[in-house]
Structure formats: C-alpha cells, structure tokens
Amino acid sequence: MRLYLASTSPARLALLRAAGIEPVLINPDVDEARVVAETEAAAGTPLAPRELVLLLARAKAEAAASALLARAKAEAAASALLTEPLNGLLLGGDSVFVLDGVIYGKPHTAEAARERWERQRGRTGTLYSGHWLIELTAGVPSSAVGAVAVAEVTFADDLDDAELDAYIATGEPLYVAGAFTIDSLGAPFIMSIVGDPSTVVGLSLPTLRRLVRGLGHEWPTLWNRPGALEL
C-alpha cells in the first residue's frame, strides 16, 4: 500500500521512515491563512484548535490529491503511454500549540520565538495534531477519514537565557509549531509529555494506524523500507 504525504516537513518524513514507511512526498501548496479566514468568516466565529488543525489537514490532503491527479494526467498525455494507476493512501497533517488559550503556529522570526519561550518555559501547554487520510482509487478520492491527536507538553523550568539564545540562534524553533521540537535540538528542554510523543513531532503514528484500519487496510501493508521488510 503506497502512502502519499502532503507535507514538506522533514520531521514527519523522518518519523514515517523510522516506522518503516517511505512515503511519496507532495507539496500541498495551500494558502493556510486564506482557508482559515474564509472558514471563520462563514462560521462567524473563530475556530477552536481541534477544528483548525483538522481543517488545514484536510485542505492540504485534498489539494495534494488534486495536484497528484493533474500531474498524472499530464504525464500520461505527454507520453501517450498507460501509467501505473494512482492507488494508495494520502495523508495531510497540521499542528498548533496552545498556551493560555492562545493558538500558536510557527513563529517565523527569532523575536517571536523568544517571546513564546519566555512565556512557556516551566509551564505546560497543549499540542494539537490534525490528520486527514484519503484513499485514492485510480487517482480519484474514494473515501476519507480524519482525527485529531492531543498531547500535553511541560517545559523545563531551569532553561536559562544563554541556552535559550543559543537554541533560537540555530533557527530550528522558527519553523515548527510552538517554537520547539522533541526530536531534535529542543528535546532536552522538554521535561515531560502526556500523550503520544509522535503527536508533538506533527504526526501521531497510533492515530494514523487507526485511520488506516478505518479505511479497511492493515498497518503492515504500508511497510516498504528494507528494515521493516526484514522483520
């Protein structure tokens, strides 16, 4: 069973590879701000964290599915040859971090990352990770399921300014939800996690497994890396 990943996140890719899956990567190319603004305008109210990550996960998955089918049609027309049918599962994901009721995505700047860390060190916040899984049959979405995973993250209370400055200077926290990681340089600054740790990476493997089974497939059918096939 082929898995398509609608994401450019190195962390999600590494997580799947460690779990024995080599996905086909697709850039979803979604204007997240526009999707959220239009949805909130239609609803007349701000989106809750669960609603937000599921909305964007779905938008990314659906955009990637459309791009994948368009690309396959163009390649088939150009070569005038029959191509392999696009069958498999396509995953879209999104994550946000919530502290004191405020939703935080990627900080993008060192100043924003510093401000967030000054608020969150020594405290506990919540990471929400949305998943939307589409089954493709001959390139056309035939069914889909979605879910949100949640994890509570507690940060070190003895993180000093020198460590924080050094961490921000690496650039890592600028491009991840909540301005931290647990699978790279930020890991030593995390004291504890309540919930599935892979949720904090941006893709909950147990949640994805449940979604895969919900579409009628078994998790081991996704294993396609040599280490997994040797089990």
The pLDDT assigned to 92 comes to 98
DSSP-assigned letter for residue 160:
-
The pLDDT assigned to 109 comes to 96
How many percent of the chain have pLDDT more than 90?
84
* Total residue length of the chain: 231
pLDDT in tens, 97-131: 999 999 998 999 999 999 999 999 999 999 999 99
The pLDDT assigned to 139 comes to 84
Gap between the terminal Cα atoms of the chain: 17
Q: Is 157 labeled as catalytic in the residue annotation?
A: no
The pLDDT assigned to 4 comes to 96
Task: Provide the number of structural domains found in the chain.
Answer: 1
How many percent of the chain have pLDDT more than 70?
93
The pLDDT assigned to 76 comes to 66
Distance CA(146)–CA(135), nearest Å, equals 12
pLDDT band at 231 (very low <50, low <70, confident <90, very high): very low
Average pLDDT, the chain: 92
pLDDT at 11 over 80: yes
Q: What is the pTM of this model?
A: 0.91
Distance CA(11)–CA(183), nearest Å, equals 8
DSSP letters along 163-224, please?
HHHHHHHTSGGGGSGGG--SSSTTGGGEEEEES-HHHHHT--HHHHHHHHHHTT--GGGG--
pLDDT: is 141 or 72 the higher one?
Answer: 141
Nearest C-alpha neighbor of 64 from the set 42, 91, 44, 95 = 91
Q: Domain with 127 in it: what CATH number? A: 3.90.950.10
The pLDDT assigned to 230 comes to 42
> Domain residues for 223?
3-229
Q: 193 forms bridges with which residues in the sheet?
A: 153
pLDDT in tens, 129-163: 999 999 999 888 999 999 999 999 999 999 999 99
pLDDT in tens, 177-224: 899 999 999 999 999 999 999 999 999 999 999 999 999 999 999 999
- Find the catalytic residue in 94, 161, 183, 196: 94
Q: Are 28 and 6 in contact (CB under 8 A)?
A: yes
The pLDDT assigned to 186 comes to 95
